[in-house]
Structure 1
């Protein structure tokens, strides 16, 4: 991969939408020796029915099977990536508890793979997977290409999340103010509006005003949901 740092930096700012960005990402993956590429992103809110999206160039039949059988729920690379940002290499041991998934994936040419996730403080989780049908990923190759692959994972997350996030959540209309955040913190500690007013030396009416504003900005329906949303988004 010639001038790979520049190529990857260009990837960060490239693409007019998620599909164009993914096309550039797949091209970078091919330059690194991988015929297949996938990027998935999931947000941590709402707590139920969390929104996610996945772009890949896997065989269409495998894409449909993976979706219809909910393989994402047993995919060990997804489970691992949710808790660690260390790169992982596919292996029989990794898929030991998901033999059907592993067998089906291999039958579609997804035999050798590498993946790395990016986890943000607000719970946004993205994972890049590079895969191919032939040639084992050797330790020598991993050492030679690790910098490019890690850079690519970071660049992919920066650009793909920029395009995908607006489609997954309506998010807050604007950041909450320090006073609104303070009120939500005390709500999280179980304080009433009257108690918060005494703590902050403001009226109960003013406390409720700040809480109402936070609820509106966070696009939730009550104060409890506002606290949860603010926490998972890293605002508290």
Structure 2
């Protein structure tokens, strides 16, 4: 885990309220070159009225406009997030079917953006949005920052899910000694091959332990697994 990720993780783990999560997210977004940030989390319970948590540092005028115009129902980034986990870079094509929304957003300074969806095994769905009014996103920037944006989205997703979803007690999840060892190295950014070398076990065995832990903690990937394990005090 690089220094930037470790700093963000420690900040998020220390956040006890959604407002603190937003403060840390905004700081991380600025470090990545974005003025605005948002995270929306949809929790599927109760079935009759799923809970929707929305955090952002948008201007008050844009928040009011978004609500009064019912843009949640036509926002193409939300529709995209429901069907893909790939990053979405804003463009004229993306907003072609929602021109009034697009023009309104641009008028409020949201001209260039990056959206990244997140999902987990509990059915929670989230969307990280980073935006700015200046400088279009370059291919080089996307290549350089892609991993960090995806990581940040997953880290925020796990933090907010922990605040709002029904939490599993730490003592309800048991990791074996070997699983805990594999997870510690994985959380530090080691690949399965590197963990294999350090623990003197086969790479296949490493992946076996990782897959078991993904199931135990209901995590969709290794980043979410590490964040959730740290939050629950399992490593």
**Normalising to structure 2: TM-score of the pair?**
0.67
Q: Distance in 2 between matches of 1:109 and 1:161?
A: 29
1:125 has 2:138 as partner: no
**What does residue 16 of structure 1 align with?**
16
Q: Shift of the alpha carbon at 1:43?
A: 1.6
Q: Shift of the alpha carbon at 1:83?
A: 1.5
Q: Distance in 1 between matches of 2:100 and 2:152?
A: 30
Q: Shift of the alpha carbon at 1:35?
A: 0.5
Q: Distance in 2 between matches of 1:48 and 1:67?
A: 22
> How many residue pairs get matched?
168
* Contact persistence 1:11–1:155 (CA under 8 A): no
Q: Shift of the alpha carbon at 1:158?
A: 1.1
**What does residue 112 of structure 1 align with?**
112
Structure 2 residue runs of 5 or longer lacking an equivalent are 169-235
SS of 2:137 mapped into structure 1: coil
Q: Distance in 2 between matches of 1:61 and 1:158?
A: 29
What are the superposed Cα offsets for residues 181-222 of structure 1, whole Å, 9 maximum, x if unpaired?
xxxxxxxxxxxxxxxxxxxxxxxxxxxxxxxxxxxxxxxxxx
Q: Shift of the alpha carbon at 1:85?
A: 1.1
1:147 has 2:147 as partner: yes
* Contact persistence 2:116–2:127 (CA under 8 A): yes
What are the superposed Cα offsets for residues 88-115 of structure 1, whole Å, 9 maximum, x if unpaired?
1111100000000000000000000001
Q: Shift of the alpha carbon at 1:10?
A: 1.4
Q: Shift of the alpha carbon at 1:46?
A: 3.4
**What does residue 62 of structure 2 align with?**
62
Q: Distance in 2 between matches of 1:27 and 1:21?
A: 10
* Contact persistence 1:109–1:133 (CA under 8 A): yes
Q: Shift of the alpha carbon at 1:18?
A: 0.8
Q: Distance in 2 between matches of 1:112 and 1:14?
A: 31
Q: How does 1:1-236 map to 2 (within 5 A)?
A: 3-165=3-165
Post-superposition, which runs of at least 4 consecutive aligned residues in structure 1 deviate over 4 A? none
Q: Shift of the alpha carbon at 1:159?
A: 0.9
Larger Rg over CA atoms:
1
**What does residue 221 of structure 1 align with?**
none
**Normalising to structure 1: TM-score of the pair?**
0.67
SS of 1:130 mapped into structure 2: strand
What are the superposed Cα offsets for residues 22-80 of structure 1, whole Å, 9 maximum, x if unpaired?
10111010011001000101122334432212110011111011111110111110011
SS of 1:49 mapped into structure 2: coil
Q: Shift of the alpha carbon at 1:120?
A: 1.8
Coordinate RMSD, CA, aligned:
2.0
Q: Shift of the alpha carbon at 1:117?
A: 1.0
